[in-house]
Structure 1
Amino acid sequence: MATRPHRLLVVHHTVSPATEAMLDAVLRGTRAEEITGVDVVTKAALAATASDVLAAGAVALGTPANLGYISGALKHFFDQIYYPVREEARGTAYGLFLHANEGPDGAQRAVETITTGLRWERAVPDVVVRDAPTAADLEACWELGATLAAGLMPAD
């Protein structure tokens, strides 16, 4: 990817209060006062398309861990965008926020495997939350959103 668009795509499947709180914190981070010139587009995983990915310079991914794997909605997102974006979106920065009541390892591994195949680059450490998000967990989500958005700011 030559020049990254100044757009952050937030793709999420937030069906629980915990994942919704994490999404809200990520979005608050993208709106930090210092961040300017970045368009943030939020899409449910079942609604996000290959065109959305191609128009973005970075992607934040949010999902619960369901039975040790990513949500079916996020898997569907990856299935439908994989080949259409594989070449053109190479090098796309991404971050993952994941909620798990039990065993997040399989879900983390799935996202890492898929994003490796897409040749995306992790731009921020994964935020993995077990049980109810704490203030520190939500701060980490805020940082994820702020870091991804700041990386897309236009040069002065």
Structure 2
Amino acid sequence: MSATSTLLIAWHSRTGASEALARAAADAGGERARLMKASDVQPSDLLDAAAYLFVCPENLATMSGMMKEMFDRCYYPVLGRIEGRPYATIIAAGSDGEGAQRQIDRIAKGWRLRRVVDPLIVKTDARSSEEILAPKAPTELQLANAAELGEALSEGIALGVF
């Protein structure tokens, strides 16, 4: 399998929800899925992938800082070199998720990536400080939705849909 037939799943998590969702997507994506912490992703990893799944929490109505740092570090080295590639997102959020989603979409637009499925926003209903800071485990349904997304992206690569 060539490097450009892989699905890069870049994730960051503070309380466990985003990590669990990313792992579910990667497990279902099989051998094509490459799971990487956002802090480890380098421009070469983006260049070597056929498609992307970005998974992170929404913190204070924005994407997590580590995910933003990944985009900051990799943006210009890959600009103009990954145009047209497919992407999708999973956002873990207490109540909304739209702010983080909009930020990632703006970056993806600058890279000229192509969204291939609607955003998956997983709401944890965390409202109080204690709930927000507590470890989180997505429900079986939420994990199944993440797995379905990972499998669909991987199969899309295998079938040449993307």
Task: Tell me if structure 1 keeps the 8 A contact 2:52–2:88.
Answer: yes
TM superposition score normalised by structure 2:
0.83
Deviation per CA, 1:56-114: give whole Å up to 9, x if none.
Answer: 00011010000010011110111111111121100111110110013311101101111
Match of 2:26, SS state, is: helix
Match of 2:158, SS state, is: coil
Q: Which residue of 2 aligns with 1:64?
A: 57
Q: Which residue of 1 aligns with 2:7?
A: 8
Shift of 1:135: 2.6
Please state if 1:120 is matched with 2:113: yes
Shift of 1:154: 5.9
Shift of 1:40: 2.3
Please state if 1:78 is matched with 2:71: yes
Deviation per CA, 1:3-51: give whole Å up to 9, x if none.
Answer: x9211111000222222221221112202xxxxxx53222111110110
The size of the alignment, in residue pairs, is: 146
Letter in 1 for 2:46: V
Q: Which residue of 2 aligns with 1:144?
A: 149
Aligned counterparts of 1:42 and 1:50: Cα–Cα separation in 2: 15
Q: Which residue of 2 aligns with 1:24?
A: 23
Letter in 2 for 1:142: A
Pick aligned residue for 2:97 from 94, 104, 108: 104
Report the RMSD for the aligned CA atoms in angstroms. 1.7
Displaced runs of 4+ in structure 1, greater than 2 A?
A: 132-136
Identity %: 32
TM superposition score normalised by structure 1:
0.86
Letter in 1 for 2:13: T
> Which stretch shows the higher mean deviation, 142-151 or 128-137?
128-137
Aligned counterparts of 2:8 and 2:22: Cα–Cα separation in 1: 12
Task: Tell me if structure 1 keeps the 8 A contact 2:22–2:35.
Answer: no
Question: Whose helix fraction is larger, Structure 1's or Structure 2's?
Answer: 2
For structure 1, the 5+ residue unaligned runs are: 32-37
Pick aligned residue for 2:139 from 91, 109, 134: 134
Aligned counterparts of 2:34 and 2:57: Cα–Cα separation in 1: 20
